[in-house]
Structure 1
Amino acid sequence: MTTTTTSERGGARVAVQRFGTFLSGMIMPNIPALIAWGIFTAFFIPVGWTPNAPLATIVEPMIHYLLPLLIANTAGRMVYDTRGGVVGVVATMGAIAGSDHLIAEFNETLPPGAEPLNPIHMFIGAMILGPLAAWTMKRLDALWAEHVRAGFEMLVNMFSAGIWGFIMAIVGFYPVAWLVNGIMTVLGNAVNWLVETNLLPLTSILIEPAKVFFLNNAINHGVLTPLGTAEAAETGKSILFLLEANPGPGLGILLAFTFFGVGMAKASAPGAAIIQFFGGIHEVYFPYVLMKPLLLIAAIAGGATGVATNMVFDAGLRAPASPGSIIAVLAQTASDSYLGVILSVVLSAAVSFAIAAVILRASRRRDLETENAGDLSDAIARTEANKGKSSTVLAGLAGSSAGGSPADAQAPAAAAGRAGAAPVPSGDAPSPGPVGSIIFACDAGMGSSAMGATVLRAKLKSAGVEGVTVSNSAISKLGPGAADIVITHADLTDRARAQIPEAEHVSVDNFMSSPRYEEVVERVRQSRAEAG
C-alpha cells in the first residue's frame, strides 16, 4: 500500500513537472516580446516616464493580439512545427474575437454609469488552443497521409490546414472563449480577495516549496503571468510578477551557507549566490534546501516578507522578470516602485538569512563532526530527480567547490560506474579539417550552456585564437552541419550525439570550470596548424 501511494505521488509530481515545462516552453521564448511591451508601457502610457499618446496606441494591440498569437504560434510549433503554429494562431484569433464579443454583450446589459468589464487577454486561450489545434491537425494529416495522389499533396496540405484552422477558430470563438473568460474571472477574483484581505504573502507557503521541487512553472506561467499581464495592462504594474521571481529568499539561504555552512556546501555557496542573484538561475540554491528541509521555513518566511513589503509600498513590475535576476527585476520595476521592490529583495534576503543561519548553527557541530561532503552531491542528485532532467548548473556546484580540478573530467565515468552503467566517453575522435564552430548544448539551450559558451570564448580569446564561432543551443535543435565540436554535460552527450553524429563530442561535468576547455583550445589550435 505504501509503495503504491509513493508511486502515485511520484507520478503526479512528474506529470506536474512536465506540464509546467510545457507551459514554460510556450512562454519563455516570447519573454522578449513581453519585455518590449513593458518598455512601451514604461515610457508612453499616461503614467509613464515620457507620455506619448500616438506611441501609446501600440500598447493595447500588443497585449491583446500580438502576445497571445506569439504564444499560440510557439505552442503550435512545439507540437507540429510551422504547420501547427499556423493553425494554432488561427484558432487563437477565434478565441480573442469570441472573448471580445462576450464582454461587449455583457457591457451592453449594464445600467448607465456602471463600470464596464475590461477586455480579457487570451494568454490562457493561446496556451490551450495552440497545442490543441496543432495536435489535432497532426492527427488528421496522419489519417490521409498515405491516400493522397501524387501531385495533389500541396493542394491537400493547404486546404486541410485552412479548413481545420477555420473549424478550430469557431471552437475558440464559442466554448474556449467562454471557458477562459470564466477562468480568468475566478482567478482574478481570488487574487483580489487575497490582496484585499492582506493574505497575499501566504502564497509563499505554496510557491517557495513548489520552486524547490520544480512544480512552480505551472503556477508561474499558467496563472501568475496571465493575471499579472492583465493587471499591468490596466494599472501599469503588477505585484504578481514578483511572487516567484524575487531572488531575495534564495540569496539569503546561500549567504547563510557561506558563513555558517561546512565542507563542500560552504565552499560552493558564494559562487552559487552570484549565479542565483545576478544570473537569475534560482535552481542553484535548491540542493542546499534539500540538504536541510527545515530551510523551507527560511524560504517561505523570506518570500512572504518580500510579498508583504511590496504590498505595503504598492510596488510591482511592468512585465515578467525572466530570468529572476536582480538585473531583470530592476529593469522591469515600475517607475514608482523602486523603493518597495529593492526593500522587498533586501528584507526577504535578510529574513531568509536570519532563519537559515539559526538552523545551520543549530546543526553545525554535528555537521563538522560528520563532515559529509557527499551531502551536497546527494542533494544535487535529488534536485535533478525533482527537475526530471539533468542540470549542468547544478552539476557544476560540486566541481566549483574544488576549483575545477582535473577530477572533473573523470566524474562522468565514475558516476556511471557507481550506477552500474557503461562509462560515458569524454570525447570523440577529431574530425578532419579546421574547427570553425563550437556549440554548447543543454536541454533548454539557455542558462548553463550560455555560461559555458562565455567561458570558452574567453579562453579562446586569451589564447589568441580567432575565427571560431562559439554558441549555445538546445539539444533538440542540433542538426547536420551545425558544428564541428559539440560540448555537453556528460549525462546529455548520448542525446547530442544522436542529433549530430558527425560532430566531435566533448563531455564535461562542470560548465563553469572544466579542464576539458584547455583540451578544446589546443584541439582548435592543432586543427588550424594542420590546415595551413
Structure 2
Amino acid sequence: MANKGFRAKVQRFGSYLSGMIMPNIGAFIAWGIITALFIPDGWLPNEDLAKLVDPMIKYLLPLLIGFTGGRMIHGLRGGVVGATATMGVIVGADIPMFLGAMVMGPLAGYLMKKVDELFQDKIRSGFEMLYNNFSAGILAAILAGFALKIIGPVVEALNNVLASGVEAIINAGLLPLANIIIEPAKILFLNNAINHGILSPIGVEQSADIGQSILFLLETNPGPGFGILLAFAVFGKGASRSSAPGAAIIQFFGGIHEIYFPYVLMKPSLILAAIGGGVSGVFMFTLFDAGLVAAASPGSIFAILALTPQGGYLGVIAGVVVATVVSFLIASLILKTSKVKDEDMSEATSKMEEMKGKKSSVSDALNQHDKETPVEEKNPDEVNKVIFACDAGMGSSAMGSSLLKNKFKKADIDVFVTNKAINEIPDDADIVITHKDLTDRAKAKIPAAEHISVENFLNSPKYDELVERLKN
C-alpha cells in the first residue's frame, strides 16, 4: 500500500509537470520549426524571420508555461497571476526560464487561491470587481518582485547545475544508461512528466545553443514500444496477438506510446525488452550525434522526422530502427520461453473477476495486471457525459474517446463523450473511464462519478458492456 501511495503521488506530481507543458506543445513546435528553417544554419536562412527565435524562447514559452501552471491551480485568475510572476524570473535570469515558470506558475495560482478563500466571501456587494482586480494585481506585483530577486537567481543556478550534469553524462558516453530509468518510468505512466517536465526544458536550451538536442529523443523514440508490439503480433496469443498490429500502427505512426504499456504490464519481464531497445537506440543517437530541434509530441515517427535537423536523418533513423530490432528480439525470446500462459486479455480479465477475494497464487499475481473493475449498474437516463481520462488528456484518452464515440454512434446512443486530463475532469461527468493504474487518481478527483477501469485501450470488453447497458 505504501508503494502504491508513493507511486500515485509521483504520478500526480508528474501530471502537474507535464500538464504545464503539454497544452503548449504547439508553441514549442512552432519555435522548433522557425528555428530549423530560418536560423543561419537552417533549411531556409532568413535574417528577419530568425529574429523570432530568441523572443519566443525567452518570453513566449516561459509565459505560456507560467500561465498554464497558474490556471491549473486556480483558473484564469491563477493563470494571469502566474504569468505575471513568471515575468519576474525571466527578467531575473540570463537563460530561458522554463524551470522558473514551472515553479512560479503553480505557486502564484496556489497563493491566489488562498487569498480568495480568505477574503472573497467577505467582500460587500458591489465591490467584487474592485477586489478581484486589485487583489490579483497586488499579489502579482509582489510575486514578480520576489521572483526577480530571489527565485530567478536560485533557479538559474539550479538549471546550470542540471545542464552541466547532463553535458557531463553525454561527454562520458553514459547517456544510454538513462533509459534504464526512463523505460520503467514510462510504463508507470510517467512518460509525459519525464519528457516534458524534465528533458524538454533542458533540451530547448541545448537546441537554442547548438541547433539540436539528443534529449528530445530519449523518451519519444517509438522503437522500443514498436518492437514489443511486433513481438506480440508474431508470438502473442489471443486478443494480445490480434490487437497488437493495430496497436503497433497507432504507436509508431500516431505517436501514442501509452498503447503498448498494457502489453508490458501483462508480462512485466518485457520491461527488459523496453530497456534494451531504449539503451541501444540512445547509443545509436549518441554515436551519430543525432538530435531534434524541438520536442516531438506525440512521439510519432512523422513528428520525429519533421523535427530532425538538416543532415541528421541517418542517425535518427538508425536509432529508431536499432531500438525496434533489439526490443523485438528480446520480447520475442521472452514470449517464446515464458512458462506462464499468455492468456487472452478478455479471458484474463474474466478470470480475475471470478477470483476476486480469493488468495492468489504466483501465476495469479502475474495476471493481476489484467484486472479491470466491473461496470456498475446505473440508470441509463442519468448518463449524459462520459469522460475518458489519462495523465495529460492528449494520448490514450483521445484514442479511447474516439473508439467510444464510434461505438455509441453505431449503437445510436446519444451520450456526450470527450477526453480530458485527470486534473481537468469536469464535475458533471457521469462516467469516467481510465486505465486501471490511473483510476485511483480519477476517483480522488471526482468520487461521485462512476469509474470504469480498462486494461487495453483498443479492445477492452468494458466498452461493449457499456454500449449494451446504455442501449438497453
After TM superposition, the score normalised by the length of structure 1 is: 0.73
**Equivalent in the alignment of 1:30:** 24
Match of 1:489 in 2: 433
Cα deviation per residue 1:204-257 (whole Å; 9 max; x = unaligned)?
111111111234444333321110011111122110001011010111112112
The size of the alignment, in residue pairs, is 445
- 1:508–1:516: 8 Å Cα contact kept in structure 2? no
> Corresponding residue for 2:365?
none
* C-alpha distance 56-326 of structure 1, shift in aligned 2 (>3 A): same
Question: 2:154 matched to which residue of 1?
Answer: 179
CA contact (8 A) 2:247 2:458 kept: no
State the partner residue of 1:528. none
CA contact (8 A) 2:238 2:344 kept: yes
How far apart in 1 are the matches of 2:410 and 2:263? 34
Aligned to 2:237: 262
Point out where structure 2 has 5 or more consecutive residues left out of the alignment.
Answer: 354-368
Structure 2 residue 234 is the aligned partner of structure 1 residue 290: no
Residue 438 (structure 1) shift: 8.3
Report the alpha carbon displacement of residue 375 of structure 1 after superposing the two structures with TM: 8.5
In the alignment, the residues of structure 2 paired with residue 223 and residue 217 of structure 1 have an alpha-carbon distance, to the nearest angstrom, of 9
In the alignment, the residues of structure 1 paired with residue 227 and residue 351 of structure 2 have an alpha-carbon distance, to the nearest angstrom, of: 19
Question: Deviations for 1:386-426, whole angstroms, at most 9, x for unmatched residues?
Answer: xxxxxxxxxxx98xxxxxxxxxxxx98xx43xxxxxx5236
Note the C-alpha offset of 1:15: 1.6
Q: Does the alignment pair 1:424 with 2:424? A: no
Find 1:125's aligned residue among 100, 105, 110.
100
Following TM superposition, by how much is the alpha carbon of 1:300 offset from its aligned partner in structure 2, in angstroms?
A: 1.3
Q: How does 1:87-236 map to 2 (within 5 A)?
A: 87-100=81-94, 120-236=95-211
> Which of these residues, 62, 70, 78, is aligned with residue 72 of structure 2?
78
* Residue of structure 2 in register with 1:53 after alignment: 47
C-alpha displacement of 1:47:
1.0
Which of the residues 363, 371, 395 maps onto 1:447? 395
Which residue matches 1:247?
222
CA contact (8 A) 1:442 1:488 kept: yes
1:298/1:462 CA distance change after superposition, 3 Å? closer
Q: Cα offset for 1:470?
A: 7.6
1:18 aligns with 2:12: yes
Give the superposed CA RMSD.
Answer: 3.8
8 Å contact 2:17–2:196 — kept in the other structure? yes
SS in 2 for 1:198: coil
1:69 to 1:378, Cα distance in 2 relative to 1, 3 A: farther
Letter in 2 for 1:54: D
Task: Give, in angstroms, the shift of residue 94 of structure 1.
Answer: 0.6
1:280 alignment partner, one of 255, 258, 266: 255
Counterpart contact for 2:386–2:433, Cα < 8 Å: no
Judging changes above 3 Å, is the alpha-carbon distance between structure 1 residues 253 and 377 closer, same or farther for their aligned structure 2 residues? Answer: farther
Tell me the distance in 1 between the aligned counterparts of 2:331 and 2:68.
40
Give the deviation of 1:302 after TM superposition.
Answer: 0.8
CA distance in 1, matches of 2:285, 2:274: 17
Task: Tell me if structure 1 keeps the 8 A contact 2:240–2:344.
Answer: no
Q: Which runs of 5+ in 1 are unaligned?
A: 1-5, 101-119, 382-396, 399-410, 417-422, 432-436, 524-532
Q: Which has more radius of gyration?
A: 1
Q: CA deviation at 1:124?
A: 0.6
What is the aligned-residue identity percentage? 51
Q: 1:455, 1:216 → 2: CA distance?
A: 23
Preserved contact between residue 265 and residue 376 of structure 1 (Cα < 8 Å): no
TM-score, normalised with respect to structure 2 = 0.82
More off after superposition, 289-298 vs 150-159 = 289-298
Q: 1:247 to 1:153 in 2, by over 3 A?
A: same
Distance 1:341 1:438 in 2: 42
Query: 1:477-504 deviations in whole A, cap 9, x for unaligned?
Result: 6477x9xxx8853898x98xx8999xxx
1:39 and 2:33 are equivalent in the alignment: yes
Tell me the CA shift for residue 170 of structure 1: 1.2
Structure 1 residue aligned with 2:362: none
